[in-house]
Amino acid sequence: MASTEPDAKFITRFSFRQFNGGVIVVKALLNNLSDSLNFIFDTGSGGISLDSATCARLGIKAIPSDTTITGMGEAHKVCFVFDQTLHFPGLTVDKLNFHVSDYSALSSIYGEKIDGIIGYSFFSRYIVKVDFDSLKIEVYNPGKIKYPKEGVLLHPDINNIPMQKLLVKDARKVNFNFYFDTGAGLCFLISEAFAKDSGVLLASRRPLVTEAEGLGGKLQMNLTIIKLLQLGPYKFRSVPTYIFKDEYNVTSYPNTGGLFGNDLLRRFNFVINYPKQEIYLSPNGHFNDPFDYSYTGLSIFYIDGQIIVGDVVANSPAAAAGLEKEDILISVGNDTSNNIQQYKTLLQSPKEKIPLLINRNGKLITLWITPKIIT
């Protein structure tokens, strides 16, 4: 019998931007306010949220609750803003209940104000196509949809956050579940518990200590590579991998071993179809882009119009260069743009000696940093 399901109906198309790590950022209007807000499109979010500073600035009153939100680095109770409306070009989404969190850390990481995160509350209502070649998003009403000819149809388990089985191979081959997380600006992340119990990592690996940034602020991780990661029929070799001491069990181990993020997923155009529990991936023009194997041990943040050095990892290239916490980064190479995302990109040059101009207590100093290659 032929299916009586109606075809998915096209609603709208709008542009997005990519931040470091392939993170997707879209603009939207909230309620009847005229300010355009920046939202991260995040399949790793089980709801939808607003930044606390944005709420204060716009005079939006949040209501306290007993709901606890767990992120990398912390767990805390959140307030809510109920029955709100988001306006995208050609699309109005109403009856949204936002939880409220402090996203000042995200704003300092990307150098632009992050006003919120769009997750399950949006994706559960629509079919969403993301095209990294054109930097466009298309939104459809749920229904029967024809996927592209070349690609693979995944059937993740979607319970607020998509969970997909991957094949991971290093010391041994392991098939395990990982979160499909477009909000993570990295390739692959595994929990220490999964790494230990699975024995997946080669004993010869010597992970480097690094500082990563999450919703809870700064946290320490280890950085290495995995010999092979396979998603459907697509194989990626020597994949940069973070190893995370998951104190709050954000990765839900032993149900999942970690997550794969948008520095890997940006190599596909994809169709996110939560109503059907499907995600369709098609390799795009970035599929063969090289991975970032650089390591500096340096974290930088955009604060009050300046790019500030955070903690410097001991025995790292940043420490060897003489960088210190609270140095102000004026330029990287010949670039004086004061653009933190551009500076991070310029520092992705392993074994290249890169000049840095810094301001330390009012004195200009030139230092040279040579990023290592992670192994």
CATH number, position 323: 2.30.42.10
pLDDT at 77: 85
Mean pLDDT by 10 residues, the chain (375 residues): 82 97 97 95 96 96 86 76 97 97 93 97 98 98 94 96 98 98 96 97 94 65 97 98 91 96 98 98 97 96 96 95 98 97 96 97 98 94
Pair (135, 157) in one structural domain: no
Cβ-contact 138, 13 below 8 angstroms: yes
Is residue 148 a part of any domain in this protein? no
Q: How many CB atoms lie within 10 A of CB 36?
A: 11
Of 140, 169, 191, the last residue of a domain is 140
Give the DSSP per-residue string, 14-79. EE-EEEGGGEEEEEEEETT---EEEEEE-TT-SSEEEEHHHHHHHTPPPEEEEEEEEETTEEEEEE
pLDDT at 218: 64
Q: How many CB atoms lie within 10 A of CB 252?
A: 17
Domain span at residue 169 reads 153-263
Is residue 272 a part of any domain in this protein? no
> How far is Cα 128 from Cα 138, in angstroms, rounded to an integer?
6
DSSP secondary-structure letter at 335? B
Q: Check whether the bond before 275 is cis (ω within 30° of 0).
A: no
Pair (331, 230) in one structural domain: no
> How far is Cα 238 from Cα 206, in angstroms, rounded to an integer?
14
Compute the Cα dihedral for 176, 186, 149, 142 and give only its sign.
positive
Pair (299, 327) in one structural domain: yes
Is residue 255 a part of any domain in this protein? yes
Cβ-contact 14, 26 below 8 angstroms: yes
Pair (49, 116) in one structural domain: yes
What are the two backbone dihedrals, phi and then psi, of residue 170, each rounded to the nearest 5 degrees? -145, -90
User: Tens digit of pLDDT for each residue in 99-143?
Assistant: 999 999 999 999 999 999 999 999 999 999 999 999 999 999 999
pLDDT at 3: 63
H helices of the chain, in order, are 52-58, 104-110, 120-123, 192-198, 262-265, 317-321, 340-346
Q: Nearest to residue 223, comparing CAs of 243, 237, 239?
A: 243
Is residue 288 a part of any domain in this protein? no
Pair (165, 250) in one structural domain: yes
pLDDT at 135: 98
Taking the chain, what is the end-to-end CA distance rounded to the nearest angstrom? 55
Beta pairing, strands 17-19 & 23-30: antiparallel
Q: How many domains does the chain have?
A: 3
Question: Counting every residue, how long is the chain?
Answer: 375
What is the three-class DSSP state of 13?
strand
Q: Nearest to residue 21, comparing CAs of 317, 348, 258, 332?
A: 348
Pair (127, 232) in one structural domain: no
Residues 6+ apart with CB under 8 A from 321: 356, 367, 368, 369, 370
Stated pTM of the model: 0.95
Pair (185, 248) in one structural domain: yes
Pair (202, 168) in one structural domain: yes
Cβ-contact 197, 254 below 8 angstroms: yes
Q: How many CB atoms lie within 10 A of CB 65?
A: 12
pLDDT at 214: 55
329: tokens are 């980064």
